Structure 1
């Protein structure tokens, strides 16, 4: 994805406020051994770009002063109640440095799985994105998780995610294979009237 940025001359809270009034959003780009540079972007274009998943998880082409630079979106600050971006941070990337980024997980084939189709289970994703580390050229836009063979007795973990060559998953904490989903079996409905009814008394034997 490509976007256009402009160099920002004035800094400070007042300057940023005036910038937002004119329909621009302030930001900064840093990294790759170069000096940080203050930038500004068209707010409406930025707002629509932020709604796209790829803008958050892909390497972006930023055009600034007639030159194109590879960057990653690192942080976005939003107004607490207005539909307004207050500030954005971008990090420059180069071909020789590994990048660390959260990549979305796309769950596929769930409706056709035995767990849902045959067993009537309720399946809820627990992890929606995965921390990965790789070279910029190897960064995937998203990772697919095939659930078409899922049953109530299987609980896939992070280690079951198929990673492209050169991509490494980063898992923090003691559990190195946390569950990707939760599976809930359908509830068994018991007829309350039948459950409350007393059992029939055994028949008495007649006298001889």
Structure 2
């Protein structure tokens, strides 16, 4: 779990206009903290450190140490509202973390072993990543930054599912708690499309050639029989 720290201040001037002024004049990002037994608290987060933090994938699956007006608390990111076409965040939602209660969060899925995969290197296999993140439930202390799936020994034509993931102690895959029907596919290794199409075309061409030779044989046979009858 990465050590992310952010500084913020209580925000008393609310509304869209106030948020806009906050972003432009004070170089801060409007946000809110909610959850737990405390009431939701509008805050303003330091823009420089916040934008640096969101460049790291682990930020979105880590417990963050957030200090508001000198008072420290732990939170996780719940939502970011982004500008429709500019690389800007207009608002952030943080949820308070209780060390004694499990939290549910999406964590990234990292595929490893592609360079060592014989199916990909020697058999022209193609990797298909079917999901980029996985929903888990765990105590804050057990929260992993990401989960890994190793495909180094996966055979061509194989599809791996959630149940194939090895998760750390204390971590539960939420989907699997709903039954086997929710054991979703996460990655697959199939024959590369271009090669598969080329082989299919080759087989079709061979079949057409074989069919084309048969009439010639029949025709030759017919000509031979005709000559025999004439004699």
Give 3-state SS (helix, strand or coil) of 2:213's partner.
Answer: coil
Q: Are 1:21 and 2:24 counterparts?
A: yes
**Which structure 2 residues correspond to residues 52-201 of structure 1 after superposition, within 5 A?**
52-171=56-175, 175-186=181-192, 187-189=196-198, 190=201, 197=209, 198-199=212-213, 201=216
How far 1:113 moved relative to its partner?
1.2
Query: How does the TM-score come out when normalised to structure 1?
Result: 0.90
How many angstroms apart in 2 are the aligned matches of 1:159 and 1:194?
42
How far 1:193 moved relative to its partner?
7.1
How many angstroms apart in 2 are the aligned matches of 1:67 and 1:87?
21
Structure 1 residues 139 and 193, CA gap change in structure 2 (3 angstroms): closer
**Higher mean Cα deviation, 47-56 or 86-95?**
47-56
Question: Which residue in the other structure is 1:11 paired with?
Answer: 14
How many angstroms apart in 2 are the aligned matches of 1:113 and 1:32?
46
Rg: which structure is higher?
2
Q: Contact conserved, 2:158 with 2:188, CA < 8 A, in 1? A: no
How far 1:71 moved relative to its partner?
0.4
Give 3-state SS (helix, strand or coil) of 2:160's partner.
Answer: coil
Q: Contact conserved, 1:43 with 1:85, CA < 8 A, in 2? A: no
RMSD in angstroms over aligned alpha carbons?
2.3
How many angstroms apart in 1 are the aligned matches of 2:147 and 2:95?
22
Greater percentage in helix:
2
How many angstroms apart in 2 are the aligned matches of 1:75 and 1:5?
17
Give 3-state SS (helix, strand or coil) of 1:175's partner.
Answer: helix
How far 1:35 moved relative to its partner?
1.8
How far 1:2 moved relative to its partner?
1.0
Q: Contact conserved, 1:26 with 1:87, CA < 8 A, in 2? A: yes
Residue by residue over 1:115-161, the C-alpha shift from the partner in whole angstroms, topping out at 9 and shown as x without a partner, is: 20221111110011111001110111111111110111422110110
Mark the runs of 5 or more structure 2 residues left unpaired by the alignment: none
Give 3-state SS (helix, strand or coil) of 1:184's partner.
Answer: strand
How far 1:173 moved relative to its partner?
8.2
Give 3-state SS (helix, strand or coil) of 1:5's partner.
Answer: strand
Residue by residue over 1:153-184, the C-alpha shift from the partner in whole angstroms, topping out at 9 and shown as x without a partner, is: 42211011001111100116872211111333
Mark the runs of 5 or more structure 1 residues left unpaired by the alignment: none
